């Protein structure tokens, strides 16, 4: 008879897997949620469903089951929305098992005009819930040429992942599984031409493809130990101006995004409230794109300080902003830079801070309370907030609102067609 050793007291039996995961459900999809998924309910529980459209009835498989919500992937559309189209990326379509669908084009099965309507709904819902702001008249604007191309061919930067066997491709959605693909429909033509989709890589972890507007497209391979070739400087053109930056440095991805945001920021600034001698700021300034937008509108004597945590980006910003005698670029974390600005200022500096225009272009997580609280203590005349995440922006807008800064204008741009992402440019001033 086999002898069974009793478990030690500090050991617990392994938990049984959640029996709900893998279950297939028929769901009525009722709305859109932030993050590129749709909303349904099953026996009162919220289910976030991928690859669906509001108004559809779908068969979906549960992939995650938490107390507060479930996640599910669409397997079959039982009643289709009139806004459904063949997916722009064959490797991401419903024909594939969900685990084998390429990620990065989660709205590719939806007509472009309806994509923008869903994005508008997400923005309006976030502002209503977090900031108590009515964005009823907002429209998500398309960039020139995107409707003609069905929202493809716009990405000037693509990162491909490399699997353990050397296969290259994008990750599957919400996964680190590399999906081999034969096409990159969202990529600009110059990217598609150099994409090594059939290549096997040895010790590589990722492959970056970059197509700058001011030169040839290039490939940068990063190995599994994090090493890569020495940084190569590239040039991006916006109108008549050139910007130098590192090949893997931050730059807007859509080939027309930099010009769109330059114009939008210039339009958002109230010229009557702008003082070129004030302590104007460009926070999270990168290589100086938006500081240059301010300088180009208000002249070479404009004083503006661009603050960026990346030292290489700051070095490029100093070079890119050299046309303006009052411009400077500082390397610092924004939360550290703004801390104590008001408290340590002289009377003259406090006056310049109160007259300032602040351009704020934070990462996807938003600026956050630490930055907003310190910033409003300086009392700037106006804030131009550029946001790539509507929920993070709405939370920050609520903080600004509590300090007496309201949204005076808001524009939304579809800088990322066939994905759920949307870009906002807001003008905030004191009540």
Looking at the annotation, which residues are catalytic? Answer: 388
260: burial class by Cβ within 10 Å (0-12, 13-18, 19+)?
buried
| Residue 283 burial (CB count, 10 A) | 25
To the question of whether residue 361 is assigned a binding role by annotation, the answer is yes
Q: Is 266 annotated as a binding residue?
A: no
Residue 411 assigned to a binding site:
no
d(CA 407, CA 415): 21
- C-alpha span between 121 and 123 (Å, rounded): 5
Helix (H, G, I), strand (E, B) or coil at 66: coil
Among 62, 121, 50, residue whose Cα is nearest residue 87: 50
Q: How far is CA 236 from CA 66, 297, 360, in A?
A: 45, 19, 21
Continuous segment of H or E residues that includes residue 374: helix 369-378
Q: Specify which residues 305 forms β-bridges with.
A: 281, 328
Tell me the C-alpha distance between 13 and 158, whole Å. 44
Q: Return the DSSP state at 221.
A: E
Q: Which of 402, 403, 397, 398 has the alpha carbon at shortest distance from 427?
A: 397
Element (H, E) at 425: strand 423-430
Cα 337 from Cα 357, distance rounded (Å): 16
Q: DSSP letters along 268-313, please?
A: HS-GGG--TTS-EEEET-TTSHHHHHHHHHH-TT-EEEEEES-HHH
C-alpha 14, offset from chain centre: 39
**Contacts of residue 217, Cβ cutoff 8 Å, sequence gap at least 6:** 190, 191, 193, 194, 209, 210, 211
Whether residue 308 is annotated as binding a ligand: the answer is yes
Helix axes 390-402, 369-378, angle to 10 degrees: 40
Residue 32 CB: number of other CB atoms within 10 A? 24
Q: Edge-to-edge, what's the strand order for the sheet holding 218-223? A: 168-169, 157-162, 204-210, 218-223
Residue with tokens 């990063």: 222
**What are the DSSP E strand ranges found in 88-181?**
140-141, 157-162, 168-169
- To the nearest 5 percent, what fractions of the chain are helix, strand and coil? 25, 30, 45
Q: Report the binding-site residues.
A: 252, 284, 308, 361
**Residue positions forming the annotated binding site for S-adenosyl-L-methionine:** 252, 284, 308, 361
């Amino acid at each position: 008879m086999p002898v069974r050793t009793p478990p030690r007291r500090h050991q617990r039996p392994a938990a049984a897997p959640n029996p709900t995961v893998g279950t297939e459900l028929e769901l009525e999809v009722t709305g859109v949620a932030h993050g590129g998924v749709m909303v349904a309910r099953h026996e009162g529980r919220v289910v976030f469903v991928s690859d669906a459209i509001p108004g559809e009835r779908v068969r979906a498989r549960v992939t995650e089951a938490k107390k507060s919500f479930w996640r599910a992937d669409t397997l079959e559309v039982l009643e289709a929305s009139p806004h459904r189209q063949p997916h722009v990326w064959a490797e991401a379509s419903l024909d594939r098992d969900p685990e084998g669908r390429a990620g990065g084009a989660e709205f590719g099965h939806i007509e472009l005009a309806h994509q923008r309507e869903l994005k508008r709904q997400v923005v309006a819902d976030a502002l209503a819930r977090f900031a108590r702001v009515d964005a009823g008249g907002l429209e998500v604007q398309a960039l020139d040429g995107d409707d003609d191309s069905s929202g493809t061919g716009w990405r000037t930067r693509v990162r491909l992942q490399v699997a353990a066997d050397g296969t290259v491709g994008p990750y599957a959605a919400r996964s680190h599984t590399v999906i081999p693909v034969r096409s990159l429909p969202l990529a600009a033509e110059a990217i598609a031409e150099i994409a090594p989709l059939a290549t096997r890589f040895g010790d590589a972890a990722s492959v970056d493809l970059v197509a700058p507007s001011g030169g040839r497209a290039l490939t940068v391979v990063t190995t599994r130990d994090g090493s890569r070739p020495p940084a190569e400087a590239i040039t991006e053109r916006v109108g008549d101006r050139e910007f130098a930056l590192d090949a893997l440095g931050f730059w807007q991805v859509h080939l027309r995004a930099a010009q769109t945001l330059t114009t939008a920021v210039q339009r958002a600034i109230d010229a009557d409230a702008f003082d070129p001698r004030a302590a104007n700021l460009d926070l999270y300034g990168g290589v100086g794109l938006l500081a240059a937008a301010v300088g180009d509108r208000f002249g070479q004597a404009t004083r503006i300080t661009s603050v960026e945590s990346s030292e290489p980006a700051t070095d490029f910003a100093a070079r890119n902003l050299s046309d303006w005698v009052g411009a400077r670029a500082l390397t610092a974390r924004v939360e550290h830079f703004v801390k104590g600005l008001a408290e340590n200022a002289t009377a003259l500096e406090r006056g310049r801070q109160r007259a300032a225009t602040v351009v704020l272009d934070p990462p996807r997580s938003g600026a956050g309370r630490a930055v907003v609280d310190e910033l409003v203590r300086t009392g700037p005349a106006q804030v131009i907030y550029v946001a790539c995440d509507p929920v993070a922006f709405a939370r920050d807008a609520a903080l600004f609102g509590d300090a007496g800064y309201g949204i005076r204008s808001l524009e939304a741009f579809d800088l990322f067609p066939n994905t759920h992402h949307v870009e906002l440019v807001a003008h905030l001033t004191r009540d």
